[in-house]
Amino acid sequence: MGNFGQLMDGFAIALTTHHVMIMVLGVLLGLVVGVLPGLGAPNGVSLLLPLTFTMDPISAIILLTSMYWGALFGGSTTSILFNIPGEPSSVATTFDGHPMAKQGEAVRALTLAFTSAGIGALVGVLVITLLSSWVANFALRFGSPEYFAVYFMAFASFIGMAGGSPFKTLVSIMLGFAVATVGMDTISGEGRLTFGLRELSNGISFLVVVIGLFGIGELLLTIDEGYKFEGVKAKLKLSTIFRTVAEMPRYWVTIVRSALIGCWMGITPGGPTAASFMSYALGRRFSRRGKYFGKGEPEGIVAPETADHSAGSCALLPMLALGVPGSATAAVMMGGLMIWGLNPGPMLFSTRPDFVWGLIASMYMGNLIAVVLVLATVPLFAFILRAPFTVVGPLIAIICVIGAYTVANHMFDIWLALAFGIVGYAFKKLDYPLAPFVLAVVLGDKAEDAFRQSMLSSGGSLSVFFETPLVATMMAIGILLLLLPFISRFAGAVLGKGNAAEAGDGRHA
Amino acid sequence: MNISRNAMEVATALVTALAGAAVCYGAMENGIGWTESGPKPGYFPFAIGCLILIGSTATLGQVAWKSLAAGPAGESGHADSFINGPGLRTLAAFFLPIVAMTAISAWLGLYIGMALYIFYAMYFAAGFRLYSSLLTTVIVVAANFIVFEKLFMVPLLKGPILEYFGIY
């Protein structure tokens, strides 16, 4: 039980007054970010990151992760009360959460969501506690070919698992890599892809990219989709809260299933959004009351919320242990770690155990604080959301613009962020996935270094990626994932021919 | 003005293809070949540029394939719309002031740009009364000043006017 002792040391670090205050502040900021549409978790963390450069890394990461928990919880509040998902990952919560709230059971819906979210997050953190040092020990044996294979697997799984067009995912990933290569080359020192622009010689910060893609892009999307609050009034009654919490054990099958889905999707870079949708879909298929889903069914709230939060926490496991983030927000945090001079990955566990275990301990605390705070602030946020978007929108726009400026005190970054905003708007509307874009920007340099170092050691032969059984297996899994869309389409074409013909006839008739 | 989704798909794919070509071109300036000490700096970006080109071309192909397949049905029903005229105007009315704010900020500093933008947004876009708009502007600018200059010690761009008044 070496982990347990280290976790206790971590609690000793996380439970200081200073750090608990930081958690409360982070969760509150996160709630604001999560509640306001157009201001999501990845973007919120990016905006806050430049302000933490002067803090010590442990306080900084606790602030950022607490904000992350707050944002995850806040997103569910608006989903249920206003039918507006504050976060992409809480879209699935609107399906049953809002109908239940409309039936006058808003408090029950909120409590269901927050309790299952808390349980999901707890399961995720438990998985991190149990597995992280094991994964890190395993990863200590990795050389550069293995690392490249891990990155390859991560990106291949985006292409293979993506619901939409695999080519759009490919374009999105590669554009991210292209952005990452801009600026000075780490090995040769040459400037790359700067096209003679002096402003580009320092490279493009992933923070500017995230603020553009997720911040400004999402603002434009919100404006475009029209923004109307049809709020449901929520009066908090303690008795309702307790009764709902007592109701939770009834849904244990759904909770276990959703938590497993969430953990899996969080560790493999599927992310919370995919996890919540998948969990909702599976919940509808397997639940005995599946046909009531969409009409305010409790399990329809429990399923996506549990998965969303267990995926959200598990996304931090590969970031810490392997240096491969499992979600866009985790990617931003990993970029932060690198700025603070910490190198995410297995070595972090031996060089900075105080940091790693302090962070993990803070996750338990942060989630508990978030559950309490989110319930306490429901009336406040319901009030804030009465403000029309013509007022809230410009305020968010200013935060984004200043946020882009504070990354490096360059006006040029604001222009870049605006440009990425248009890209983000168009991409999102055309179903290009944005999370892999951000992941590629953050991981670009590392992936390229791993590739070039492998090539150096092998003298330029690609066979280095198939030399040992470990790396060969990972590469094979990656290639299989890449081919998955084609395999499934082929299988679908063979099996589905009869159905398609029938459907075609039906349309003519 | 109505922009169909198909037109936008094609335009986006063309833009990404162009970006891919630009990346390839930029990479060639660094050398895309091999040396004894491994790949040249442009090797990796060149491969990325090629993959962007391949992905964009495939997306174009998919769009063309889909619109051909849906051709007969598309005549009767309306093609999916990406954005319509009023939508585009709303979007521009929101986005262009932000662009203007950035341009003004580059010249006169962020606080003045921010103040003008907030006043515009409150008075003209949100339809606040003059005094409410002015009050909101003052509050927002003051809040930002305190948060960034005092709390987090992150100085924002001041510009010539504020510097003239001795605010650095």
Tens digit of pLDDT for each residue in A443-477?
Answer: 888 888 888 888 888 777 788 888 888 889 889 98
Cα(A188)–Cα(B25) distance, rounded to whole angstroms? 19
Please give the tally of structural domains in chain B.
2
Going by their DSSP bridges, the two strands B34-35 and B81-84 should be labelled as unpaired
CA distance, residue A177 to nearest chain B CA (Å): 7
Distances (CA, A) of A438 to A166, A179, A213, A340, B153: 17, 10, 9, 19, 28
DSSP label of A198 = G
Cα(A9)–Cα(A362) distance, rounded to whole angstroms? 11
pLDDT tens-place string over residues A59-107:
999 999 999 889 888 888 878 887 777 666 777 888 888 888 888 788 8
Residue A497 pLDDT exceeds 60: no
Same domain, B73 and B90: no
Asked whether the beta carbons of residue B59 and residue A167 sit closer than 8 angstroms, the reply is yes
CA distance, residue B164 to nearest chain A CA (Å): 20
Comparing CB atoms, the residue among A193, A414, A422 nearest residue B26 is A193
DSSP label of A211 = I
Hey, is the C-beta of A165 within 8 angstroms of any chain B C-beta?
Answer: yes
Asked whether the beta carbons of residue B37 and residue A174 sit closer than 8 angstroms, the reply is no
End-to-end CA distance of chain A: 68
Cα(A296)–Cα(A504) distance, rounded to whole angstroms? 35
Comparing CB atoms, the residue among A219, A414, A456 nearest residue B38 is A456
End-to-end CA distance of chain B: 47
The pLDDT-based confidence of A228 (bands split at 50, 70, 90) is: low
The pLDDT-based confidence of A38 (bands split at 50, 70, 90) is: low
CA distance, residue A19 to nearest chain B CA (Å): 18
The pLDDT-based confidence of A278 (bands split at 50, 70, 90) is: confident
Half-sphere exposure of residue B16, counting CA atoms within 13 Å on the CB side?
33
Same domain, B109 and B66: no
- DSSP secondary structure, A108-129, as one string: HHHHHHHHHHHHHHHHHHHHHH
pLDDT tens-place string over residues A378-425:
777 777 767 777 888 898 899 889 889 988 888 999 999 999 999 999
Asked whether the beta carbons of residue A170 and residue B55 sit closer than 8 angstroms, the reply is yes
Cβ pair A267, A317 in contact under 8 A: yes
Query: Minimal Cα distance from B63: which residue of A?
Result: A165
CA distance, residue B111 to nearest chain A CA (Å): 10
Query: Minimal Cα distance from B16: which residue of A?
Result: A171
Hey, is the C-beta of A430 within 8 angstroms of any chain B C-beta?
Answer: yes
Same domain, B97 and B63: no
Same domain, B32 and B71: yes
CA distance, residue B136 to nearest chain A CA (Å): 10
Q: Which of A414, A434, A462 to mutate to test the interface with B (most CBs of B within 10 A)?
A: A414
pLDDT of A229 reads 55
CA distance, residue A202 to nearest chain B CA (Å): 16
Same domain, B114 and B61: no
CA distance, residue A156 to nearest chain B CA (Å): 14
- DSSP secondary structure, A383-450, as one string: HHTTS-HHHHHHHHHHHHHHHHHHHHT-HHHHHHHHHHHHHHHHHHHTT--SHHHHHHHHHHHHHHHH
Burial of B62 (0-12, 13-18, 19+ CB in 10 A): middle
Asked whether the beta carbons of residue B153 and residue A54 sit closer than 8 angstroms, the reply is yes
Same domain, B68 and B136: no
pLDDT in 10s for each residue of chain B, 168 residues: 788 888 999 999 999 999 999 999 999 888 888 777 677 888 889 999 999 999 999 999 999 888 888 765 444 444 678 888 888 998 999 999 999 999 999 999 999 999 999 999 999 888 889 999 999 999 999 998 888 887 777 788 888 888 888 776
A contacts of B141 (beta carbons < 8 Å): none
Same domain, B25 and B72: yes
- The pLDDT of A339-345, averaged and rounded, is 85
State percent of chain A over pLDDT 90: 15
pLDDT of A202 reads 84
B contacts of A168 (beta carbons < 8 Å): 55, 59
Asked whether the beta carbons of residue B45 and residue A178 sit closer than 8 angstroms, the reply is yes
Same domain, B7 and B76: yes
Asked whether the beta carbons of residue B9 and residue A390 sit closer than 8 angstroms, the reply is no
Query: Minimal Cα distance from A405: which residue of B?
Result: B156
Same domain, B111 and B58: no
pLDDT of A101 reads 83
Same domain, B136 and B96: yes
pLDDT of A172 reads 94
Token representation of residue B59: 């997306």
Domain enclosing residue B67, as ranges: 3-83
Distances (CA, A) of B15 to A92, B8, B59: 32, 10, 12
Please tell me whether residue A332 adopts helix, strand or coil conformation.
helix
Residues of A (389-408) whose Cβ lies below 8 Å from B: 390-391, 393-395, 397-398, 401-402, 405-406
Hey, is the C-beta of A96 within 8 angstroms of any chain B C-beta?
Answer: no
Examine the fold and report which residue of B15, B50, B83 is the final residue of a domain before the chain moves on: B83
Token representation of residue A239: 């008795």
Same domain, B79 and B89: no
Q: Which of A224-228, A323-327, A391-395, A396-400 has the lowest mean pLDDT?
A: A224-228
The pLDDT-based confidence of A37 (bands split at 50, 70, 90) is: low
Comparing CB atoms, the residue among A187, A391, A397 nearest residue B98 is A397
Same domain, B143 and B71: no
Examine the fold and report which residue of B67, B83, B99 is the final residue of a domain before the chain moves on: B83
A contacts of B148 (beta carbons < 8 Å): 402, 406
Does the pTM exceed 0.90? no
Hey, is the C-beta of A502 within 8 angstroms of any chain B C-beta?
Answer: no
Cα(A367)–Cα(B145) distance, rounded to whole angstroms? 32
Token representation of residue A323: 């240096």
